[in-house]
Structures are given as C-alpha cells and as structure tokens.
Chain A
Amino acid sequence: MNILSNIGKYFLMLGIIFSKPEKGRIFRVRLFNELENIGIKSLPIVTILSVFMGAVISMQTAANMDYPLLPEYTIGFITRSSTILEFSPTILSLILAGKIGSNVASEIGTMRVTEQIDALETMGVNSLSFLVLPKIIAAILFFPIMTIFSIGLSLIGGWIAVVSSNLSTTETYVFGLRSFFVLGNIGYALVKTVVFAFVIVSVSSFYGYYTKGGALDVGRSSTQAVVMSSIIILICNFFLTQMILL
C-alpha cells in the first residue's frame, strides 16, 4: 500500500515539476549551476572509472582468450562492445546514482528539514519546479555527453593496458575496435543514459523533498534515494534492452 502511495505521489510530483518556470532568467542561472554541479564536477570520477574499467576489460578479455582460433583483434572488439553496450551507460549511471543521487537527496532533504522549502512555498514559489526542474534538465543534457566521454576514455584505457602489457599491438586493437561496428548501439547507449539521468535525479529529488524529521532522516532519505535509483536503473536497463536491441 505504501509502495502504491509513493508511486502515486512520485507521478503527482512530476506533474508539478514540469510546470512553466516563474522566471526564465532565474531558471537559466540555476540550470548553468546544476550543469556545473551535476555535470562538470562528475567528470573527474568518470575519467578515473572509465580509464581503469576499459583497461581491466581489455586485460580480462586477453587473459580469457584460450581458444587458438579466436583472432587477437577480439580484445578490441569485446572492449568496445562491453563499453558501449553496458559499461558507459549502465555501470557509470549506477555509480553516478551514488554520487549525484545522494547529493541531490541530501541537498533537498536538508532544505526541507531547515524549513527553506517552506520559506519558498510561503513566498509563492513553486518549490518543486524551482529546485528540481533545472537538475533534471541538466542531467538529461549532460549525461549523454558524459557517456560519450566515458566511451572514448574507456577505449583509450583498454589500448594503454593492452599495448603496455604486450598483449596486442595498436593496429590489431584498433582493428578490433572498428570491426562489426553498429552505429545503432551508440543510439541505444544514449537513450539508456537519458532515461537513467531522469531516474537518478527525479527519484532522489522525491526522497529528498518528502523527508520528514531531522539530520538522521536526511541521511536515511539519501540512502533510500541511492538504493531505489539503482534498482529502477537495473529494471529500466532490462526493459530498454528488450525494446531496443532485440
């Protein structure tokens, strides 16, 4: 019953969020701030994760190539495929659900328990639209850029690992990267990313906005936001893969 009530409350919240912003100028300023907070400030962790994950994927592929008839360019092929199909859109989103989700839920939750949201409402500001809409749009705009960035870095990480460990040559690795390339897979990755960006920010905002109590409850909301975003991402991943790839 509680789950159904929360789902209903979540969709009602979305209805309020997507109303026309009070002032375009203020909305633009907030959007740029959120692009920095959600996007630019996530780039360091995305860079580190992508390079190392690409390196590990390529080395694991090389280590598991026992069958002699498997061509050496398989390393590049597998690294590219796993990066585009799963690592960059899904795994990265799960990690960002932890970073961005907890940040959004705790920021909005703290505003709730310190009566800052009540202050906005008393002034006549649509607090949900004011606080959440710029975050959702910033995430939807920046996550695809981050995914493309992550794919590039992951492939570079794979190349560095393979060449420095003498597992393959640059030419063979690049040949693997270019083999059997399906452009639609990039589209699939970007669609997933946009959906995950929306899920992370809206679900985390929901838990933050409806926080009741004090500091302990803000922490609890933050944890719930990360757990629930991650579960919804995995469920969406399953259905999107069925709908787009199969």
Chain B
Amino acid sequence: MIEVKNINKSFSTNKILRDLSAKFETGKVNMIIGQSGQGKSVLTKCIVGLHEVDSGAVSYDGRNFSELDSFERREIRKEIGMLFQGSALFDSMTVEENIMFPLSMFTNMTKKERLERANFCLERVNLTGKNKLLPAECSGGMQKRIAIARAIAMKPKYLFCDEPNSGLDPQTAIVIDNLIREITYEYNITTVVITHDMNSVIEIADNIIFIHQGQNWWSGDRNSIIKTDNKEILDFVYASDFMKRIKDLMQTKI
C-alpha cells in the first residue's frame, strides 16, 4: 500500500498541493481524477520522487520514502513501473531493447533470459513479434502497450499510469484499461492511474480520489461517484452533454 500523509508542494508562490492525504491499496486500481491544473500529475511525481515534497510524507508499505537518501530511494524505484502520458519510450532503442532495458540495468539475467522475459511481456500486451520495431514505427496505442510491457518487465509492486488513454481512440482506450486492470489483479500490484476519462473511471476504478484545489476533495468507489451530490464532482463527471444525457436518462428511469 502507498500512503500519502499531509503533503504540501509549491512552485515558487504557486501552491499546488495543500495538506493532501490519501491511501492507495494493494491489488486495486486506484484512480486520481480532477480537472487540469489541480495537481494530479504533481501528486504522482511527488509520490515517485521526481518532485520533492515541501512537507508531509510518502510511504511505500511502511517505508517512508521522503526520509530515504538517493541510494535507498533507487531501491524502491526498482519496484516501480510507470506508464507516462507520452509513453516515454527510448526512441533510439527497438521495442525489445526498451523492454529489456531495466532488466539489463538491474538484474544479472543472461541475454537469453532477458529476451524470454521481453517476449513474455510483449505477449502479455498482445504485441508478439513486434520486437524489432522502433517506437517511431508504432502507433500511439502500440506505444502505450509497449510502455506497459516495459513497466511490468521487472515485476513491479507499484504501477503508476499518467493519463494512459490520452490521445487514443475509444476502442484502444478500452484495451489499455482492461490491460491495466488485468495486470493489477494478476500480479497483485498497487496501481495508481491519473485520468480525465470518465469511461475508464466507471470501467476499472476500485478506489477513486478526486483532487480539487490541491486537496483530496472526495474519495470513494465507482458506485458512490455516480450517486454523490458533491457539486465539484458533479461538475467534473457531468461536464459533457453526453454524460448529462446519461444522467437525465438515469433520473427518468428512477
């Protein structure tokens, strides 16, 4: 479990996170939602240590990440897989090399073993045989799946996904969502997903945290988010005409 306690983060005079606390449970898809500019990505970057928090604590299964030195942090980071918004694949490496990269850096596996693991991960994301392609030769959806394959190569305990569906068509978005959910349950990973996509929230979220004005404004599950009367959440969830119509339909049925 990842626990965030009373964290604050500012950039010069701009206060982004205000006394934010949250828990991300193991074996569940924990989703962070909220409008743009409310601090979702900053929160994730604080959790993985890409940004230093001004105050507060982040702990991974009881290990206080904020108090560790850079070498001890690296050990925890080896247990983290991260899917970035733009995939962040190394463009000078092939698909296979991208997936084998963390294995080459941190394990003593032989080349054959690394290749077997890369092939297994590629098979897991339904990209068997795409080993020798360069990231530039892959579509957006393929790049996301390769990034997931790279993220799970080291059998992580924690998986972070920053807007995994951004820029994808609805069908591919569903494929990515299902993949994240399956991997979370299959390997009992603590998964944290940042998203704007309400479809993803309704489909795969086990726990939801709604960030507003840098605070944990609301938390609950996918059933309670539909029933809540919190104004900020309603404004966010039913921002589009499509969602408003669904809401009207639901009310008519009731």
Contact = CB atoms under 8 A, between A and B. Distances in A.
A114 B82 contact: no
B88 A123 contact: no
Nearest to A33: B92
B86 A123 contact: no
Given A115-B85, A118-B84, A123 B102 contact: yes
Contacts of A26: 104-105
Interface in B100-120: 101-102, 104-106
A116 B88 CA distance: 5
Interface string A82-120: 000000000000000000000000000000001110110
Contacts of B102: 123
B78 A116 contact: no
Given A123-B77, A123-B78, A22 B105 contact: yes
Given A124-B74, A124-B77, A119 B104 contact: no
A122 interface: yes
A125 interface: yes
B75 interface: yes
Interface string A23-53: 1001000000000000000000000000000
B225 interface: no
Nearest to A123: B102
A115 B105 contact: no
A: contact size bracket: 10 to 19
Nearest to A130: B105
Contact of A114 (B75, B86, B105): B86
Contact of A115 (B73, B86, B106): B86
B250 interface: no
B180 to A, nearest CB: 17
A89 B106 CA distance: 40
Contacts of A123: 77-78, 80, 82, 101-102, 105-106, 154
A22 B105 CA distance: 7
Given A114-B91, A123-B102, 19 more contacts: A22-B105, A23-B104, A26-B104, A26-B105, A114-B86, A116-B88, A116-B91, A118-B50, A118-B82, A119-B90, A121-B49, A122-B48, A122-B82, A122-B160, A123-B154, A124-B74, A124-B75, A124-B77, A124-B80
Interface of A: 22-23, 26, 114-116, 118-119, 121-126
7 contacts: A115-B88, A116-B88, A118-B50, A119-B88, A121-B49, A122-B160, A123-B154
